Structure 1
């Protein structure tokens, strides 16, 4: 981290007491200047500083409004209300009639021409269209497909550990964490083996700069790199979809294009948008959770000992606590479709809110000692997959199965596997992305 970003955390002032009468928004001027969730520099601060900032924001009487772009002669002001309490994120997530996903849940919002060209991702859609697509996808996950996927997860985890033992890689992220979700999703979708290396490169390019502030010179030097990668992925899946319509197999692409719900299956563009979402979101989030998990269990040997002493009893709790503590997706956005009161504030139609899962998962009113890593935490209502409602993560069960299968395989065969340094984190406003994680282990005895 550069010297310019080593911001000293001043003592946080005591939050003001709520005033009687109608709820009011808390002005950002009441905060120390370094607490600015709209500033890229905030997301480059050490995790401890950001956690302290979230704690201060949770204690305020109402959500704070942050300005991302001031008003100008030819443009309107753009900003968001930061929802950082567990209860507020939960309430907004479950009220999809008021808190809408369109026109986009990420920042910047997808341009209209991008949506027309590539199709709308399900995360950016609202009902009834979202519900229709989700039903098509949901019906495609038949019990037979799910059973085959679960078997493939276990077999893929075993093959990855075999390769780790044979090749002794130094970086856990590309060798282990990225491989499991990618290979499982490709097998589930029916992607041929010979095309997977190319697709993995496209995923990395499509997601590399999501939520990362880049200098102008980089944006000029690498114009639309992510969009070009997205186009290549969607072209490939469109060709596969066309082939599966003519010659269906037992993979997910065949099920999606051949689904008979409301008179149709997924169109080629809808299939491409879903494929991109599944690959980028499914691979990125699980990859990051797996990497954070290894480091957390390495940095907390007492928790690791608990897990290894009784893995079948502790594995579910360990996965939940890793997801809570790491929170792979930091935030999503919503746009209000109507005036609404939430968390001590009167919000207006057209306002944008930030659902800050990273802050909600450290809410001290829900999680005692929220900064502690405790795999025995019970209950653990973590929001790593969202706060419920129609946009609860479709891949939540798959991600949990992958994490449990890989940790079970790793710790049973390489019980001393551990990270040797802190993970290298990308300074993203969107996801808790791990670029690399050095690790080591003692190979099992042979003979």
Structure 2
């Protein structure tokens, strides 16, 4: 992605808690993170009313905190702001907001449902869906990439894998957009009063929908993920209705959003770096895996997650105490000069590439990492080896979020 000219303010001029920071051009934000990484230790950012967080911006610190959940806990929530208690009570706790035994139990049930047969069928489906999307692309010649291509692949693949009937899918796509379009985005007063309700209504409708499908699958199981989840038996437990709804919401919002954004940024990166595009085309199978990893590192679909300190711990030059909040800035860790040579460069041959685009390891490492990689590789194979002159036009329309590197739209053309 093209990086506009950078400002050269000092670290004291950077405020990660100020919504205005997230409206800055990407180059300015990356330069600010570089200045924060140069400090002796984490910096504190006040969020008002006695609240605030310590920013973990170095690769080593983000990775260590990710792998130490007993000290840096996900509960009560990883997003900023944290989910309200009544929201958690109504919709259930998402897996990303759980720790310890609760998280381990839920993850075991989900992992048990991902059988080798189901995963093999999902991978085969990815290639079929990618080919069908590009067939449609060549026939219709649309000019907006997110809606025509990037959103369709992960949505169709996940719906196929879950066993969502076709009649529900248009509404699910609409609900996913409503539920996620303003996460982490500063809005005016009217929107702050209105849009969260719309997002919660969207989640509620999705959860009611999947709960109904779950009841059907309990009575008459099929060869799909919902059936596996509601009939799984791990220590005598399967997913209940609320757990199934929370997992489905996580899978749709997180799985669809992150993959679609990585795909969209990927097209922009290949357009802006024609040398890398030509290298990839020279031997797709040789370079494709590295290209996918570098797209994820460079774009970092999830910008940050929050943690709550549960026990005293020294990290990054500071001793943290229980009750403090830290934020893991993956977008900064993936540009850390101590780990990545020339970190702002887009280099599909970068090796090693220990990016934290799927988290920093530990129990919360992304469940969908393998599927996202398969989806991206399959789609770019179809996009680049058939319509070879597919190009992004102009800059991606970014949402200005402090949570995910969301792209609202990207124009493209066949040259």
Match of 1:300 in 2: 273
- Shift, 1:317, TM fit: 0.4
The CA RMSD over aligned residues, in Å, is 1.2
Q: Is residue 130 of structure 2 the alignment partner of residue 150 of structure 1?
A: no
Structure 1 residue 256 and structure 2 residue 229: aligned?
yes
Distance, in Å, in 1 between the alignment partners of 2:316 and 2:166 is: 50
The 2-side partners of 1:412 and 1:250 are apart by: 33
Residue in 1 aligned with 2:12?
Answer: 32
Greater relative contact order (CA < 8 Å, ≥ 6 in sequence): 2
Is 2:31 the partner of 1:9? no
The 3-state SS of whatever aligns with 2:400 is coil
- Of 168, 171, 181, which aligns to 2:144? 171
Distance in 2 (alpha carbons) for counterparts of 1:233 and 1:270: 13
Distance 1:278 1:376 in 2: 30
Q: 2:397 aligns with which of 402, 407, 424?
A: 424
Does 2:294 correspond to 1:314?
A: no
1:414 has 2:387 as partner:
yes
- Corresponding residue of 2:46: 67
Match of 2:31 among 52, 66, 69: 52
SS in 1 for 2:174: helix
The answer as to whether partners of 1:419 and 1:439 remain within 8 angstroms in 2 is: yes
Show the 5 A alignment for 1:37-436. Answer: 37-69=16-48, 71=49, 77-222=50-195, 224-436=197-409
Q: Any idea what SS the aligned residue of 2:356 has?
A: coil
* 8 A Cα contact 1:237 1:271, kept in partner: yes
The alpha-carbon deviation at position 215 of structure 1 amounts to 1.1
Structure 2 CA distance for aligned equivalents of residues 7 and 159 of structure 1: 40
Shift of 1:223: 5.2
Aligned length: 412
CA distance in 1, matches of 2:110, 2:94: 13
- Structure 2 unaligned blocks of 5 or more: none
User: How many angstroms apart in 2 are the aligned matches of 1:339 and 1:86?
Assistant: 21
Q: Which moved more, 1:272-281 or 1:412-421?
A: 412-421
Please give the alpha-carbon distance, in whole angstroms, between the structure 2 residues aligned to 1:11 and 1:66: 17
Whole-angstrom CA distance in 2 between matches of 1:414 and 1:191: 31
Residues in 1 aligned to 2:385 and 2:343: alpha-carbon distance in whole angstroms: 29
SS of 1:431's equivalent in the other structure is coil
SS of match in other structure, 2:264: helix
Partner deviation per Cα, 1:271-306 (whole Å, 9 max, x = no partner): 000000000000000000000000000000000000
Encode CA deviations 1:204-251: one digit per residue, 9 max, x unaligned. 000011001111121234451100000000000000000000000000
* Deviation at residue 11 of structure 1 after TM alignment: 4.5
Q: Determine if contact 2:6/2:31 at 8 Å carries over to the other structure.
A: no
For 1:9 and 1:254, the matched residues in 2 are separated by 53
The 1:241–1:383 alpha-carbon spacing in structure 2 relative to 1, beyond 3 Å, is: same
- Please give the alpha-carbon distance, in whole angstroms, between the structure 2 residues aligned to 1:182 and 1:223: 23
Change (3 A) 1:421 1:266: same
Instruction: Extract unaligned runs of 5+ from structure 1.
Output: 1-5, 13-30, 72-76, 443-447
